[in-house]
């Protein structure tokens, strides 16, 4: 017996063995997560997707680039859905979409589906992620998805070495650095040392560079700033460190058949349609100068009066209320009195500055003055609306933090501040579990 493994998109895969067909984190949208465009480019034959007979779908975590209701909407509602998630809202939403067999996954508890057994394994952030240990045809395949491996899990997984295949999230993502680019360092373009040690412990026959396979809008400076690791570098470094392993790039639609002694190409997925050159690589430009937030704001459609009013009402009323209701971290930069400026840019270039005085858990809007600022946040008005009404995630918000010349004392304090401590980020995203999926249900008319 053999195991056929096919790449769908991002961290999505189809596993087939002995007549059993299972999909992992299936995304059949392009773009997905609002502005993540497949890289290399693909499209999907949704009529064929609707005809798929899947024995199960496994979803590793609730992030919208893995758990998308608009992708699940193409599937037969009798398909069993297995989700690793600590939040009941996601299960309720999937059931609301019409799926009748929705199950919660538990770490290290095997789920047998025909000829395939799937065992969720513990990721480093167990409140969010899981990994999948797939057993089929006498083979062991580890789908690491987006996560880092928990040390206790690594000890357990090493007992199965040598692994037949590991699907490894090969990209490090500079999502914090692009939010505060004037305060970020370029840093070395190298694989994290932990990766080498973990892969050496797993000792796989084949390593597939997986996940983070997307770019953003064609004009976006993120396309040269987010992902420093190329396919080329990953292959060179991994094969140099693991002499017995082969790095195998699986582009969307590509399929292989794996057995105990060999790996052979197989017919591609007919419903994943490659567009153009499929062997592209990222071009990381560490010294790229980011465009001004005002220039980015002009790229997005203007808001109507009602949408603008929603954003302004949130900034003047909702944001302070939410800030006061949240628990401030003990090590927060905002434990001390601070003057924070929030700047909103319209499509037409209009600028709105809002000033707030924070002191621990308290916050009040104040008038502009000559007092030195402590913290600044810039964002397009339309993106703030998208986060509030459409479930937009932080990754695609183009928020810019502390792009300002501060006085020397404040600047020294900012050196150790956590960018995610930003008041707007906290108020938009701290409890926004399943916001994107909720917006999807509205779009789907459910």
360-388: per-residue pLDDT in tens?
Answer: 999 999 999 999 999 999 999 999 999 99
Assigned domain for 281 exists? no
Q: Answer yes or no: do 352 and 268 share one domain.
A: no
Residue 252 clears pLDDT 70, i.e. is over it: yes
Number of domains in the chain: 2
According to the model, what pLDDT value does residue 349 have? 87
pLDDT digits (tens, 9 = 90+) for 398-424: 999 999 999 999 999 999 999 999 999
pTM over 0.75: yes
Q: Answer yes or no: do 128 and 223 share one domain.
A: yes
According to the model, what pLDDT value does residue 57 have? 98
Q: Phi and psi at residue 134, in whole multiples of 5°?
A: -110, 125
For the ranges 184-193, 340-349, 435-444, the lowest mean pLDDT is seen at: 184-193
Q: Answer yes or no: do 310 and 212 share one domain.
A: no
Provide the residue range defining the domain that includes 203.
Answer: 3-274
Q: Which residues contact 340 (CB under 8 A, 6 or more apart)?
A: 334, 355, 356, 357, 358, 373, 374, 375, 376, 377, 423
Q: Answer yes or no: do 268 and 299 share one domain.
A: no
According to the model, what pLDDT value does residue 22 have? 98
Q: Answer yes or no: do 227 and 327 share one domain.
A: no
What mean pLDDT is reported for the chain? 94
pLDDT, average across residues 234-248: 95
Residue 432 clears pLDDT 80, i.e. is over it: no
Parallel, antiparallel or unpaired: strands 3-7 and 206-210: unpaired
pLDDT, average across residues 221-228: 92
According to the model, what pLDDT value does residue 187 have? 67
Q: Which residues contact 92 (CB under 8 A, 6 or more apart)?
A: none
Q: Answer yes or no: do 137 and 239 share one domain.
A: yes
The CATH number for 121's domain is: 3.60.15.10
Residue 80 clears pLDDT 90, i.e. is over it: yes
pLDDT digits (tens, 9 = 90+) for 260-277: 999 999 999 999 999 999
Burial 287-314 (b: 16+ CB within 10 A, else e): eeebeebeebbeebeebeeebbebbbeb
The CATH number for 314's domain is: 3.30.1050
Q: Answer yes or no: do 405 and 264 share one domain.
A: no
Residue 49 clears pLDDT 70, i.e. is over it: yes
pLDDT, average across residues 274-303: 94
Distance, CA of 4 to CA of 16 (rounded, Å): 5
Q: Select, from the ranges 78-82, 230-234, 277-281, the one with the highest average predicted confidence (pLDDT).
A: 78-82
According to the model, what pLDDT value does residue 211 have? 79
């Amino acid at each position: 017996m053999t195991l056929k493994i096919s790449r769908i998109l991002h961290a999505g895969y189809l596993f087939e063995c002995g007549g059993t067909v299972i999909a992992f984190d299936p995304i059949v949208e392009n773009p997905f997560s609002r502005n993540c465009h497949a890289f290399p480019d693909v499209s999907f034959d949704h009529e064929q997707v609707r005809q798929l007979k899947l024995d199960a779908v496994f979803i590793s975590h609730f992030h919208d680039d893995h758990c998308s209701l608009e992708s699940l909407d193409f599937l037969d509602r009798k398909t069993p859905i297995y989700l690793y998630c600590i939040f009941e809202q996601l299960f309720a939403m999937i059931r609301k979409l019409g799926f009748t067999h929705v199950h919660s996954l538990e770490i290290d508890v095997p789920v047998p589906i025909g000829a395939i057994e799937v065992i969720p394994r513990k990721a480093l952030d167990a409140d969010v992620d899981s990994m999948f240990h797939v057993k089929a045809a006498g083979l062991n395949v580890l789908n690491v998805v987006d996560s880092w491996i928990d040390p206790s899990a690594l000890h357990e997984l090493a007992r199965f070495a040598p692994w037949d295949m590991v699907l490894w999230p090969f990209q490090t993502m500079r999502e914090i650095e692009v939010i505060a680019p004037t305060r970020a360092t370029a840093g070395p373009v190298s694989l994290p040392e932990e990766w080498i040690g973990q892969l050496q412990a797993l000792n796989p026959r084949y390593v597939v560079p997986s996940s983070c396979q997307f770019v953003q809008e064609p004009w976006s400076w993120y396309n040269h700033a987010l992902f420093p690791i190329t396919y080329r570098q990953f292959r060179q470094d991994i094969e140099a460190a693991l002499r017995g392993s082969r790095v195998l790039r699986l582009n969307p639609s590509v399929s292989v058949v794996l057995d105990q002694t060999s790996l052979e190409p197989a017919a591609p997925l007919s419903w994943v349609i490659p567009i153009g050159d499929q062997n592209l690589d990222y071009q990381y430009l560490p010294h790229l100068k980011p465009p001004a937030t005002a220039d980015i704001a002009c790229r997005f459609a203007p808001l109507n009066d009602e949408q603008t009013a929603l954003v302004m009402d949130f900034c003047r009323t909702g944001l302070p209320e939410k800030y006061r209701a949240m628990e401030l971290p003990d090590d927060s930069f905002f434990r001390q009195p601070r003057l924070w400026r929030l700047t909103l840019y319209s499509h037409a270039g209009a600028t709105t500055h809002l000033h707030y005085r924070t002191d621990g858990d308290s916050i009040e809007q104040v008038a502009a003055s000559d007092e030195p600022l402590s913290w600044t946040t810039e964002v397009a008005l339309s993106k703030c609306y998208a986060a509030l009404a459409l479930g937009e995630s932080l990754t695609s918000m183009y928020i810019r933090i502390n792009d300002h010349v501060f006085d020397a004392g404040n600047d020294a304090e900012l050196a150790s501040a956590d960018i995610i401590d930003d008041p707007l980020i906290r108020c938009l995203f701290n409890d926004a579990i399943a916001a994107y999926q909720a917006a999807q249900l509205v779009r789907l008319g459910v």
